[in-house]
Structure 1
Amino acid sequence: MAPVPIYKTDLNVNASLDLKEFSVKETSMSVRAHLVFMVDFALMNQTTCSAARVNLAILAEIVKLHNSTCIELVDDFICICAGGWTDSTCSTNINECFSSPCENQGICQDEINGYNCVYIDECESNPCQNQGNCINRLTVGYDCECFDGFQGTNCEIDLDECDSSPCMNGGICVDGPNQFTCICPQGWSGVLCETDVDECASSPCMNGICDNLENRYSCECKSGYTGKDCQEEISECSSNPCLNGGTCNDLINGFTCQCPPGYQGTLCQTDINECSSVPCLNGGTCTNARNFFSCACAPGFQGINCQIDVNECNSQPCQNGGTCVNERGQFSCICTDGWAGVFCTNGKAI
């Protein structure tokens, strides 16, 4: 009797007998079973399989796979398969993924007597740019929730906030990430250059009232001042207002004239009448002149003001021994006996 071969394999076995040999065919890698079987070749015809009687119980043990239970029948056998397997020898794995059990685009992976749904995380690669928020769809794909200032499938487009021309009053718009900046022209301020700068806030008008205007200011100067900022005092003496040699003294919003002798008035325009004070005495006649007067004295008086009584006796007007008596503005003679007249020149009859 030939030795009985012992086979141990991970392969599916077709138990076809042909001249003492078994025909072996590979099965899928998902099938795993170890078969240990023995065949009594003495039971088989050495020249043909048709006449051989194979012990079906042994054959059933040979083909039993994957925890199946095989039962010998008359000239046959039947196997009751464990969960997840099918066909007559329980060698075929049931594909639980065939009915597409995974929802929401899950990928079904078949297992022994079951399945597993694998869901692809579309957001795993962080497709949303510029800190956008990635949301997996219930169906295939993802959506990006973009921050303000960005758009596009992946938030890759930076919106140009300057497209709406937000800067006012000639401001220049500079676009930035999710923002913009306005470069304001002189005289304007604010985020949008919407505020007119108060140029009067710095009190530029030194001697006047400031009027704030668009991008500028104007000073209403007090009397006596001029200039853009009312910084210059007006010289009222520049026009030489004082007459007759008067000296001008400049004041704020005014002047005074220091008049020379003989003149008076705001502008020294009035010639003082020196005769108004009646300077000529003793009946003298006053004549007014520029900055002085002259007196025409009555007979018997002299001096600038005719204040001197002339001593008419100095000329010895009395004759013939007469005595001269000086009087105010005149004289008289006291004649000696035998003489008479103003000058004692007339002899008297004795």
Structure 2
Amino acid sequence: FCSSVKCHIKLNNQIISKLKCQCVTVPMSLYVHRCDPGWDGQHCDLCVPMPGCLHGSCQQPWQCSCEPGWGGRFCDKDLFVCSQQQPCQNGATCVMEDSGEYMCLCPEGFHGRDCHLKTGPCHQRRSPCKNGGLCEDADGFAEKLMCRCLAGFTGAHCEIDVDDCQMKPCANGATCLDGVNRFSCLCPAGLTGRFCTVNLDDCASRPCLNDGRCLDLAGGFHCICKPGYIGTTCETVLIRHNDQEPGWTTVGWEGGGVRPQLTTGERNQRSSITNSNDSSPQGDRLLKVTVSERGAAGLSEVQLIILLVLAGMTLGVVVLTATLDSWRWGVRAPAPAVTCRVGLRQDS
């Protein structure tokens, strides 16, 4: 069928369209026509316009023929903008360009697209604003210019760098380093964070020796040592009672086969309280208090009084213990005689 059909359009027996369509055979012995690129419509007589064409028509495919008064590639430029809208101000001359855009020729003392800006202090010479400051002169109508400074700067011409450390933002004795609209904190050991407010865990490395307990502090640590150890990290072993070095205070109690002892850390003093007993269980017991002074400091009067009070309390305990023992075994013997001897010896 396609070979017998002419793909053209007749109007009043006149051929008005040729070579705009193609005859294509389809199944079931039917035929359709397919338009050439750039043409559309049932008879392929409609020109496909350029996309974006506003004030124009299509005479040739993919073209935009502008209507009167419009120009530009898409017919979107008003050619009468200079005569009708008169966008140029302050006596400027409006000129249409080939692209369809208008241009204003500004008189002396004015500038801008529409010559609406007066050439003020900011445009008459180079802007005096420093460090990125914006020069403002009320569109040229101000007598004096003004600089709008960026953050971190101040002054008439933005020439002064603001001291960001003035408010002392760094904590815990950290050093503040001033920058351009910023600051940084140089933290001491053991602290971190932007403001040096975060305490580092100084116990993470387990500095305490000999099973000492570590307490984390601000910028350091403290070791709680077990009995028998001293030092910053519990590294030193205390000297035993029999081998104790001069200058430590020792209070000892000996009697009845029991030997409890207490050692304290007062320097330059040594004192001992001992009780010696006879071979007989019920014999007289002797409580001896000896104060031995070492070093230049010596015992003060208050310390001596405290020591004597301690001796008296110990004596009372001895008497009470002996009395209770006698009552427990049913022996009504008189309380043992106790002799208290206090001696003060000045060592060389």
Q: What's the TM-score, normalizing by structure 2?
A: 0.32
Q: What's the TM-score, normalizing by structure 1?
A: 0.31
